[in-house]
Amino acid sequence: MPIELTEKEQIWEKALAEIEMSISKPNFLTWFQNTSIAQENNDVIVINVPNTFVKEWLSNKYHKLIIQVLRGLYPSIRNVEYIICAQSVNSQRAAAPRYKNFSIGAEEQPELENIHIDRVANLNPRYTFDNFIVGSFNELAHAAAQAVTKNLGSSYNPLFIYGGTGLGKTHLLQAIGNKIRQDNPNAKVQYLTSEKFANEYVAAMQNNAIPSFKEKYRQHELLIIDDVQFFSAKFKFQEEFFHIFNALYEKNKQIIFSSDRSPKTIPELEERLRSRFEGGMLANIQPPEYEARKAILQSKAAQREFIVPEEIIEYIAHNVQSNVRELEGALQSVFAHSKLLKKIPSLLEIKDVLQENIKSRKKTTIVHLIKTVAEFYNISEKEIFEQTRKKQIVFPRQIAMYLLREDFNTSYPYIGEKFGGKDHTTVIHAYEKIVNGLKTNEKIKEDVRQIRELLYTKEV
Ligand code: ADP
Ligand code: MG
């Protein structure tokens, strides 16, 4: 039986109410907040979504749930489709009364810092899977982390997560530990940084307490070591650690590592330890792309029950590009400022406030990007512009075009012009080649990550 048009709005409202009950709040806010119903035609429901990122997620991850809920309410519904509609961002749901707005006044927001750190396991409960936002940039690492919680010691051992600073490695590692402790409060879990681990080892050595140090670590069911790039060049320690690792590994105890670079690119690392690092599951986290940055900002604002105007979210997402920590910092400045003003600041005011955040990143010009890419691949800046099909020139050129498009939002025709009057379809081809390469080719991923690090995080 067809549904009355007047019911249209209600269909989705009812469905949302049910969906909200069956998934976590951050997920609900991230993926469903700005959706609305577009059409209902021949028992097919079309949902407005704000961007491709949300579209992908609803159709890949939540499609089943959405269909199930809708059919529960209206058995005649056969299918659901999603279309991108920029307006839906400003739909009435964003202004739904359940969210407080900036005129929050004297009411304090709970501080993010949590004091209840589990001293033995060294876990901070603020880092959970529930408030970890997943997108294509970190999807693999997230899936691997979840798999580990379900099959400790047997699915991916060791799990090695790597990626640039501020991209959520510590958050994910801690979320695993927290989940294991939540399922089994007696589980022997410990999180520590590689430096802390090394320091403890040295102290044990000085106190002639190595046997008890080793014994302690052999008891662990889950050992999490963050930032293992600091093992670099500490050869004596690497040797000892190798044995501790083996002892745990042989007993099927789970070991998890993070690093700001892949095992292959950690300098001065003993070969046998490197091969241990690589012997399980390697998962890379990339910097989030524009749509993901927007989703992160929206979700983080929603978690704190603030409505941030779309244009401010977009402004931050465009200008703060390097990592999640910086996005959080920018949002924090907006919150602080709003509280001070007791109103939603205008975009102009925000631009002023964020000057600091944005300036503090190295001001990267296009010229600097070209120079960095050329240097990275050991070719001259002149060569990158040469009309040639030589592979050692074409590939860096494609990388430069990709970064210009992705990070600088430069138009295809403009990029074509810069590179000696190339047709914009050539630029699109280059861009897509790298986009696809990033999905399948570890080397390309690592190159792009390292170039971005040179561009955005190193001091001038
Ligand atoms: P890293 O260890 O890679 O340097 P962190 O785990 O310390 O990065 O993350 C930096 C900040 O960003 C933390 O406050 C963390 O909670 C937040 N963060 C990073 N990734 C995510 C994510 N996917 N979802 C939610 N918050 C994130
Ligand atoms: Mg960290």
Which three-class secondary structure state does DSSP give residue 150?
Answer: helix
Supply the residue whose CA is at minimum distance from atom 23 of ligand 1: 133
In the reported structure, the alpha carbon of residue 171 is separated from the centroid of ligand 1 by a whole-number distance in angstroms of: 5
Which three-class secondary structure state does DSSP give residue 425?
Answer: helix
Q: Which DSSP state fits 47?
A: E
Query: CA–CA separation, 157 vs 257, rounded Å?
Result: 10
Query: CA–CA separation, 21 vs 223, rounded Å?
Result: 34
This prediction's pTM: 0.61
* 171 conformational bin, left if phi > 0, alpha if psi -120 to 50, beta if neither: alpha
Domain 139-285, classified CATH 3.40.50.300, yes or no: yes
Where in the chain are the domains? Answer: 5-91, 139-285, 290-361, 364-457
Q: Which CATH class is domain 290-361?
A: mainly alpha
Specify burial of residue 133 (Cβ count, 10 A radius: 0-12, 13-18, 19+).
buried
Query: CA–CA separation, 163 vs 260, rounded Å?
Result: 5
Paired tokens of 220: 């662990």
Contact between 302 and 26 (Cβ < 8 Å): yes
Supply the residue whose CA is at minimum distance from atom 14 of ligand 1: 325
Paired tokens of 178: 């927290």
Supply the residue whose CA is at minimum distance from atom 5 of ligand 1: 168
Residue type at 393?
I
Query: CA–CA separation, 78 vs 76, rounded Å?
Result: 6
Query: CA–CA separation, 88 vs 83, rounded Å?
Result: 10
Contact between 48 and 93 (Cβ < 8 Å): no
The length of the chain is 460
In the reported structure, the alpha carbon of residue 9 is separated from the centroid of ligand 2 by a whole-number distance in angstroms of: 44
Q: Which of 70, 84, 85, 72 is nearest to 40 (CA)?
A: 70
Low-confidence ranges of the chain (pLDDT < 70): 1-6, 26, 42, 53, 86-117, 356-364, 409, 456-460
Cis peptide before 267 (omega within 30 of 0): no
Nearest ligand to the CA atom of 322: 1
Homologous superfamily in CATH for domain 5-91: DnaA, N-terminal domain (3.30.300.180)
Nearest ligand to the CA atom of 229: 2
Ligand 2 ion local residues (Cβ < 5 A):
169-170
- Residue 132, strand partner residues: none
Strands (E), 156-238: 159-163, 189-193, 222-226
Supply the residue whose CA is at minimum distance from atom 20 of ligand 1: 168
Query: CA–CA separation, 24 vs 132, rounded Å?
Result: 11
Which atom of ligand 1 approaches the CA of 226 most closely?
A: 2
Annotated binding site for ATP: 166, 168-170
SS (H, E, C) 369-418: HHHHHHHHCCCCHHHHHCCCCCHHHHHHHHHHHHHHHHHHCCCHHHHHHH
Which atom of ligand 1 approaches the CA of 133 most closely?
A: 24
Nearest ligand to the CA atom of 325: 1
Pocket residues: Cβ below 6 A from ligand 1 = 131-133, 138, 165-171, 324-325, 328
Q: What CATH architecture does domain 364-457 belong to?
A: Orthogonal Bundle (1.10)
pLDDT at res. 112: 37
- Residue 285, strand partner residues: 163
- Residue 249: in which H helix or E strand, if any? helix 235-250
